[in-house]
Amino acid sequence: MPDPAGLARALHDLEAQGLRRWRRRLESAAGVQVRIDGGDCISFASNDYLGLANHPALKAAATAAIDQHGVGAAASHLMGGHHAAHDRLEAELAQFVGRPAALLFSTGYLANLGAITALVGRDGAVFADRLNHASLIDAALLSRAVHRRYPHLDLGRLEAELAASPAHVKLIASDSVFSMDGDLAPLPDLLALAERHGAWLLIDDAHGFGVLGAEGRGALEHFGITGEHPNLIYLATLGKAAGVAGAFVAGDRELVDWLIHRARSHIYTTASPPALAAAVSASLTRIAAEPERRVALAARIGELRAGLAGLPWPLMPSNTPIQPLLVGESEAALRLSAALWQRGLYVPAVRPPTVPLGRARLRISLSAAHTAEDVARLVSALRELAG
Ligand SMILES: *Cc1c(COP(=O)(O)O)cnc(C)c1O
């Protein structure tokens, strides 16, 4: 880490390694046809997988709630900021994912910090897939528990680690859909493993909620996980497919009650605006009632995968909206991203430290709002750049 005098040099070094980051400026509504840094383009960067972020029903719900309740919640949940709209949404979310209760957080990052630090401490152990999202890693570090990272999807290794651990409280944490790879964790196997070892299982369904399952209820619906699982901690975010903002943890009533007492990122922060809760309520209705959005998304995924077969850069194995094109070196990924940008296609390069060294990639995000023509344009640009 640089001291104050070394900062300029450290930034310069990042640039020399192709690791300097620049934020592009969005100048239109979020979506597929966007204006970025003064240019119109088709975006393959958004997590708005169902095209709901700009949906009239969500906007109407949010503006009506602002008119009625104002903009800010004005207090934390435990100090008067827990609005009826939050309370209603928590009940709806619990029902939506088939768990007894749910608790809102302002972001997914905060939900992971709050849930993990509320459940494990210095005498505990967290077992985490090596490709888990940064918020799960940070949560484990903040908890001060022993932090064991197992090789990606290596459940044999996980089981051995669980068996060898003397910790009193054990928690397994995994993304359901891995955010930079797009592949799925085998939740039924993880759940069985956790139950055998008396461990908590936290599933972060940030990229599955709204997308997986016939009704978009997420990873639990996809894998047919129902019934009582007191050790299951289901977590999803509301800023991706749901198109709004925020996150929730769902599980047994006792789990949620414990989090209300111990999840510091729920307790010591201002409740999110009630209008956002109203918008999410409207979003849940759209998610369940409009399966055609998931049908369109699946069609785009199929078109992209068929169109990009045989390129020098492999498309990583994924059936989800996250379709990473593995390029390798950071500079090469940046060049490819820049060449697409010049053709009016925004596809961000993802580089270390977000992904392992030598595994830089273009992270193509598909949405139900993309047309077949949008995907065809991306395919033909990449084929041209490969040739
Ligand atoms: C995006 C994401 C988060 C963070 O959610 P925010 O609401 O954006 O803070 C957490 N976990 C995973 C796996 C994610 O992809």
Phi-psi region for residue 215, left (φ > 0), alpha (ψ -120 to 50) or beta?
alpha
The CA-CA-CA angle for residues 206, 211, 215, to 5°, reads: 125
Question: From ligand 1's centre to the CA of 151, what distance in Å?
Answer: 21
**CA dist., res. 12 & res. 246, Å (int):** 35
Which amino acid is it at 107? Answer: T
pLDDT digits (tens, 9 = 90+) for 142-164: 999 999 999 999 999 999 999 99
Question: What are 226's two structure tokens?
Answer: 């129902």
Question: From ligand 1's centre to the CA of 325, what distance in Å?
Answer: 21
pLDDT digits (tens, 9 = 90+) for 266-295: 999 999 999 999 999 999 999 999 999 999
- Residue 129 burial (10 A CB sphere; 0-12, 13-18, 19+): buried
Which residues are catalytically annotated?
179, 207, 240
Task: For ligand 1, say whether the CB of 204 is within 6 Å of any of its atoms.
Answer: yes
Within 8 A by CB and 6+ apart from 23, the residues are none
Task: For ligand 1, say whether the CB of 145 is within 6 Å of any of its atoms.
Answer: no
Atom nearest to 238 CA in ligand 1: 7
pLDDT digits (tens, 9 = 90+) for 174-217: 999 999 999 999 999 999 999 999 999 999 999 999 999 999 99
Is pLDDT at 18 greater than 80 in this prediction? no
> What's the predicted TM-score (pTM) here?
0.96
Task: For ligand 1, say whether the CB of 175 is within 6 Å of any of its atoms.
Answer: yes
**Residue range 56-83: average pLDDT?**
98
Measuring CA to CA, how many Å separate 267 from each of 107, 172, 260? 13, 24, 7
Atom nearest to 133 CA in ligand 1: 13
Question: Strand pairing partners for 39?
Answer: 36
Question: From ligand 1's centre to the CA of 357, what distance in Å?
Answer: 22
Task: For ligand 1, say whether the CB of 174 is within 6 Å of any of its atoms.
Answer: no
CA-closest candidate to residue 139, choices 167, 162, 114: 114
Question: From ligand 1's centre to the CA of 248, what distance in Å?
Answer: 11
Q: What is the mean pLDDT of the chain?
A: 97
**Residue range 253-277: average pLDDT?**
98
